[in-house]
Amino acid sequence: MPSHAHVSRSGSLRREIAALAARMMAEDGVSDFGFAKRKAARQLGATDADALPTNNEIEAELRAWQALYQDEEQPERLREMRGAAVEVMRLLADFRPYLTGGALDGTAGRYSELEIEIFPESTKDVEIFFLNQDFPYEHREPRRPAPHAAEAVLSFDWDEVPVKVSVYPSSAERTIRRGQERARLAQVEALLAADDPTHEGSPQR
């Protein structure tokens, strides 16, 4: 059995890694929890896999960091990103868009990308749509092969909000990855209404 001292050190290291990963996400615009925790672990010299914090632990540290250092800026940026999400999702309505990531769960900050997933019948349909709209975008290859990976990733700026659109096959729409939250347009519109300081009461369902 591990000693009490080992468990204590491991727990302390987990908290340090979670705090550093959260700071990277808040200050450097890292959006991938896994990448942030691995980078933080390397910087802190962690070699014990047990020391890696969960995404929930990092998210808790991120919310605490934002409350302490971005208490006015972060909510304003979040409203801006959710407003952009509504506009982009309306534009891409034919491709069944979902919002995911920090703009949905409330952790988006200064450098976060707006993360949208779409499920068209064909990736080519999306590219043709953008070309017909004469809308500039960059085509990015998915970071690495993985189960349920996106077929393509398109990126562009929308009123100074960086947007990443991950394109999945239509058959993958019912597949929700572990730990993932996502929302349709009506849910995002309700979130945006609730964010409005002049809004009273709960959004209509």
Q: Which residues pair with 165 in a beta bridge?
A: 116, 154
Q: CATH assignment of 73-195?
A: 3.30.460.10
Distance from C-alpha of 99 to C-alpha of 16, rounded to nearest angstrom: 30
Give exposure, 14-52, as e/b (b: 16+ Cβ within 10 Å).
bebbbbbbbbbbbeeebbebeebbebbbeeeebeeeebb
Q: In a structure prediction context, what are the per-residue pLDDT tens digits for the chain, which is 205 residues long? A: 444 444 455 678 888 888 888 888 877 777 778 888 888 888 888 876 667 888 888 888 887 877 777 667 788 888 999 999 999 999 999 999 999 988 998 888 777 889 999 999 999 999 999 999 888 999 877 665 555 678 899 999 998 899 999 999 998 888 877 667 899 999 999 998 987 765 444 333 3
